[in-house]
A = this chain, B = another copy of it.
Amino acid sequence: MFSIGELAKRTAVKVPTIRYYEQIGLIDPPHRSEGNQRRYEPDTLDRLSFIRHGRDLGLSLEAIRDLIELSHHPERPCGRADAIVAEQLAAVRARIARLKRLERELDRMSGCGGGHTVGDCYVLRSIADHDLCASDHD
């Protein structure tokens, strides 16, 4: 049996976040102590770590909810789990591509050292005038 603080420490999920997950039905409401404080069974550790890890992997709470639902039916084919991860992988790859374009752009903009004034600041002109961009970012 863990208090919510214990659980938070062990899973690296913050206390208010745990309460939030309970509120939106992502984890089951636990039993309470005589004084109405939450007391968790050990298996909540796994559930919460699963959520945490999924979040770290960039999954939405909705996707995680789906995966949890899925894991309650071990006999079903797991194509849906594959699909969720594949989707996320594609999203991650797209984000990387986009960020790389931005990186090039920002790098180019930040090239001009200090010493000059706002009046002829390359950074500001770059942002003001998209045409100065080397590539199409976005």
Contact = CB atoms under 8 A, between A and B. Distances in A.
Given A82-B123, A86-B110, A121-B81, A103 B92 contact: yes
Nearest to A81: B123
A71 B124 CA distance: 8
A46 B125 CA distance: 11
B74 A127 contact: no
For chain A, the bracket of interface size reads 35 or more
Chain A's interface: helix, strand, loop or mixed, by majority? helix
Nearest to A112: B82
A130 interface: yes
Interface string A77-110: 1110110111011001101100110110111011
A18 interface: no
A81 B137 contact: no
A74 B67 CA distance: 55
